[in-house]
Amino acid sequence: MSISKNEIKRIRALSQKKFRDESGLFICEGEKLVSEALASSFQVEAVYRLEDIGEEAMSRISALSSPSPALAVVRMPENRDRLSPEAAAAWLVSSGTGKDPVFLGLDGIKDPGNAGTIIRLSDWFGIDGIFASEGTVDIYNPKVVQATMGAVFRTRFIYTRLDRLCEILQHERIPVYGTFLEGENIYKAPLPRGKAKMIVMGSESNGISAETAARIDRKLYIPSFGNSGSESLNVAVAAAVICSEFRR
């Protein structure tokens, strides 16, 4: 199997959001991720294997520091996972009918590794869906996809106006929690079971935006038990703690 110069150029361009949005395509790399893509409902446009195209060609299309054994070009869902706040709220209400529905909100999470890890954690803890502000990193960024370890193909991820979504949820009497440096101790706070709720996580540098924070019902924080000078936890680590507590 050979790969043309035009194919190489097209695949390399998918490392940039502009070209991902224009084409509706993204890449995933590694045997595990490619296998996950093929087993998912996503449409796989093409698969390139190191043994077929050679190391030089694979290194040219790879977004990794060293080429992986396999790379797939995958088509995004048709709606690109972008909904109006009203449609997002309607989806949450209709989806939040399970035993103990939990949803996450990501407000301005910029780091691809953190975003990908949170998606992976959400898959592990059975989170019912993730809503993200438009300022959050693109879910189809190659580094995000890589960090999800395949969870990107199993997790419903919706971009929307997070502040407006939280406002609608308040009217629907669906509790919205947020993580802050001050608030209720997560280990002592009574956490509801059996009904839908959303937990908003902010970026490490800026936290939750003022607009979204104004729509949060309860503020939670993770206490420090040490004497270190750390001011806060990595947001992905914080998400793991929060998800674990809500699933206990």
- Separation of alpha carbons 80 and 87, rounded Å: 14
List, in order of start, the domains of the chain with CATH numbers: 5-75 (3.30.1330.30), 85-246 (3.40.1280.10)
96: Cβ contacts below 8 Å, ≥ 6 apart:
103, 128, 174, 195, 196
pLDDT at res. 96: 74
41: Cβ contacts below 8 Å, ≥ 6 apart:
153
* H or E stretch covering 21: helix 17-23
For 148-216, the DSSP string reads HTTGGGTS-EEE--HHHHHHHHHHTT--EEEEEEEEEETTTS----SS-EEEEEEBTTTBS-HHHHTT-
pLDDT at res. 67: 84
Q: For the chain of 248 residues, list the mean pLDDT of each consecutive stretch of 10.
A: 89 96 96 97 96 93 90 88 94 85 97 98 96 96 97 96 97 95 94 92 92 96 79 90 94
